Structure 1
Amino acid sequence: MGTYQVEKIDKDSRARFIKNLLNDIQALQIMLKKGMIESKVMHIGSEQEFCLIDENWRPTRDAIRILKAIDDPHFTNEIARYNLEINLDPEELKDNCFSVMEKKLRILLNKAMQTANKYGNKIILTGILPTITTQELSMEFMTPNIRYELLNNAVKLLRKKDFEMHIRGVDELSINHDSVLFEACNTSFQMHLQIAPDDFVASYNWAQAISGPILGIATNSPLLMGRELWSETRIALFQQSIDTRSSSYTLHDKLARVTFGNSWLSGSIIDIYKEDIAQYEVMLTNNVEKDSLLELKKGGNPKIECPQFAQWHYLSLEPSLLWCN
């Protein structure tokens, strides 16, 4: 992976990035056609995000030192200093794989809990931590990671103004803020499913079809900033926290960065990436070190870096991905 840049993107940088992205997509298309993607074995994986709180149930700023003390590659930081994430190893989808995954997750959570206790912290699993206030959304609570800084600057550059949040439920929340740290309020347990390339279209569509009922079962985050809002406030919070559109009426025709999509998929996964490129303005560019298409033509097996970062660069969200989250 190359280095990222977010200052006003010039035409040459944009053209190079899109060229590399299109080459990666073309390489992926060739790999799918030649059967170079694993298809005989199915795996599942998962991520568990959690909050760090003090004795008064308020978010702390200790994630970095706790992460260092845990010293385990299964753990990683999140955008805020009061969040951490556990990434479990993939398990083959068979036999008692879910029980195995649960056992491993409990072991890692206990490890996090014991380490956090040494620093006067507790961990809590919750969709939105109800005790977060605007104080914990200031830049001093952002994890010092170039990825988050660039994301924040990119959205602000496109918006040309501060972030606006307006959510109406039982109560109403309307607030302006100067960073994307509203997104840090959201945490979740995420499941990942590896499927055969030939099954992608069908799996995408059934994931889209059942996302509503699954979401209805899983709702657990009605509270934000002391207000009772949606039954699942994380949807509106995620949608608005990284929306690059201004509230100006002249910009209402722009597409939202977070969306459930607009149709059933009938082609392949390639069509999703192509649609994102066509519909969304580039937010970030990076200096790709290898041309995946050239590497593939030389007989290599490229990592296809650009597509996996396309969702971040364009910040669109397909329905099946939202369901997984």
Structure 2
Amino acid sequence: MVMGKDVSADPFDPRDRGRYRRKVQRCLDTLARMLTEGSFSFPHKHIGLEVELNLVDDKMRPSMTNTMVLEALNDPSFTTELGQHNIELNVPPRLLAGDSAREIEDDLRSYLGRASASAAESGSRLAMIGILPTLTHDHFDQKWLTNNARYSLLNDQIFAARGEQTVLSMEGAPLRGKKERLRSFAESILPEAACTSVQLHLQVAPEEFAPHWNAAQCLAGVQVALGANSPFLLGKALWHETRIPLFQQATDTRPEELKNQGVRPRVWFGERWITSIFDLFEENVRYFPGLLPETDSEDPVEALEAGNAPKLTELRLHNGTVWRWNRPVYDVVDGKPHLRVENRVLPAGPTVLDMMANAAFFYGAQRALAEAERPVWTQMSFQAAEENLYAGARLGFDAQLYWPGIGWIPPDELVLRVLLPLAHEGLRQSEVSDAARERYLGVIEQRCLTRRTGSRWQRETVALAQERGADRDTALAGMLARYLELVSSEQPVHSWPID
């Protein structure tokens, strides 16, 4: 969601915006100097992840109980999210090497077990899924925003910028030969709360950032096709990974006229390959007005000259309101500044094992592509990578993706022929244990061979229930109940039966 500190509940005036713009520019200048002077320490590659979760009641409807669940948990690893039916888990970072992935898997299960127990106390259950299929238009009422000043302000600022209702409009991938269409309106940004994701972080040295970000952009379309788990929204069967268009539409600050002028959306793939992390921060500052123009008392230049790591508060807050699918992150931990690539394309779920497999595939393939002698992004246009994202999100394994040296190819074939061997090599180079590498990439291989993602399982299960006489709402609730049963079995989604 919004990165950075909480904000004041007081309204902003025009002078705030002027101060904020000047301060963001000063932060940007400071970052440029830090990159030039080599101010970043980088001993080891660390990985981390965030998982956004839904809460449901015994009828599989959203349960607006996040405050009660978090109070019962009393664990700083869990935080609020935009909607009252959401919570977020932040897993502490670890080294990528060795058996760290297995340790993160164990940690995830432990965290989720505790969260499930706390949720049960309030009569709710956790659901790890890209979009909760039982959401209705009523759940997008502003009253269901989590009670936090930053969420209300963000809602108000986005609607003030756009000046009109949110339009949700998309056409689905065929289900049993038929395409379904959604056209709906919302008067809050709560459709964004329908999008629950897994965010993968990789800490990198400054000189390694650009190739790792470019590699992540090349992988985005394959990632969403391979990990799709968000096929239903407001009762309609839409994209295999409906989160992608939904998130863009839910936070769009542009009325139609600004879209027609080519004004950039705040949920953004980008428009070019980069040579430095500075390119991304500089674009964010140049193209996007501040949504939450609150300033900090620190002077970043003075902090740097005093030998401290500047917080760059305004730049980080601004960066948190530009939702790139692969986002640059500047952070300070224990007084030391570092840089991360945050990968944001993947949905939550279905199982812990599936999410860890998605992460291992990404980290391995990303490293191999980043270190290739002839980088793949020098052989394809940026627009081709963007088109791959939308094709993979809309059609899943039925998409045709472009890849240099091959041309158009289905995602499963691209993974099996090209990217899975690269992922193995990248994890070996990262000194990931053979047992962890084979465990997770074996799941990816089987998912490609069976062509069964969470999205495909959901779509087929609902279609079968309807063929047996259920209406769509009953079929969706029944599917979600069965989904949660199968998640608790801890068997990866490619092995789930459709019954």
Could you tell me the TM-score, scaled by structure 1's length? 0.93
* Whole-angstrom CA distance in 1 between matches of 2:320 and 2:25: 16
Give the CA deviation at 1:4. Answer: 4.1
- Provide closer, same or farther for how the CA distance between residues 206 and 272 of structure 1 changes in structure 2, counting only shifts above 3 A: same
* Whole-angstrom CA distance in 2 between matches of 1:8 and 1:288: 14
In the alignment, what sits opposite 1:39? 42
* Whole-angstrom CA distance in 1 between matches of 2:90 and 2:181: 35
- 1:188 and 2:191 equivalent? no
Q: Contact 2:216–2:326 (CA<8 Å) still a contact in 1?
A: yes
- 1:143 and 2:152 equivalent? no
Structure 1 window deviating more from structure 2 (103-112 vs 29-38): it is 29-38
Give the CA deviation at 1:304. Answer: 2.0
Structure 1 window deviating more from structure 2 (315-324 vs 20-29): it is 315-324
Q: Contact 1:75–1:86 (CA<8 Å) still a contact in 2?
A: yes
Structure 1 window deviating more from structure 2 (284-293 vs 103-112): it is 284-293
In the alignment, what sits opposite 2:324? 317
Pick one of 54, 64, 73 that aligns with 2:57.
54
Q: Secondary structure at the match of 1:204?
A: helix
Same amino acid, percent of matched pairs: 31
* Whole-angstrom CA distance in 2 between matches of 1:261 and 1:225: 29
Matches within 5 A, 1:93-108: 93-108=96-111
- Provide closer, same or farther for how the CA distance between residues 113 and 250 of structure 1 changes in structure 2, counting only shifts above 3 A: closer
Could you tell me the TM-score, scaled by structure 2's length? 0.62
Matches within 5 A, 1:149-164: 149-164=152-167
CA shift digits 1:225-281 (9 cap, x unpaired): 110111110000000001011134785432222121111112x11121111121122
* Whole-angstrom CA distance in 1 between matches of 2:6 and 2:128: 34
- Provide closer, same or farther for how the CA distance between residues 150 and 258 of structure 1 changes in structure 2, counting only shifts above 3 A: same
Pick one of 233, 238, 241 that aligns with 2:242.
233
CA shift digits 1:138-187 (9 cap, x unpaired): 12211000110011000110111111111111211111111000001011
- 1:115 and 2:118 equivalent? yes
More helix by share: 2
Structure 1 window deviating more from structure 2 (209-218 vs 176-185): it is 209-218
Amino acid in structure 2 at the alignment position of 1:88? V
Matches within 5 A, 1:1-325: 3-4=7-8, 7=11, 9-10=13-14, 12-169=15-172, 170-248=179-257, 251-266=260-275, 268-313=276-321, 315-317=322-324, 319=326, 321=342, 323=344, 325=346
RCO higher in structure (CA 8 A, sep ≥6): 1
Q: Contact 2:181–2:236 (CA<8 Å) still a contact in 1?
A: yes
Amino acid in structure 2 at the alignment position of 1:307? L
Q: Contact 1:51–1:123 (CA<8 Å) still a contact in 2?
A: yes
Structure 2: which 5+ residue stretches go unaligned?
Answer: 173-178, 328-341, 347-499
Number of matched pairs: 322
Give the CA deviation at 1:221. Answer: 0.9
Structure 1 window deviating more from structure 2 (240-249 vs 207-216): it is 240-249
- Provide closer, same or farther for how the CA distance between residues 276 and 229 of structure 1 changes in structure 2, counting only shifts above 3 A: same
Structure 1: which 5+ residue stretches go unaligned?
Answer: none
Give the CA deviation at 1:38. Answer: 2.2
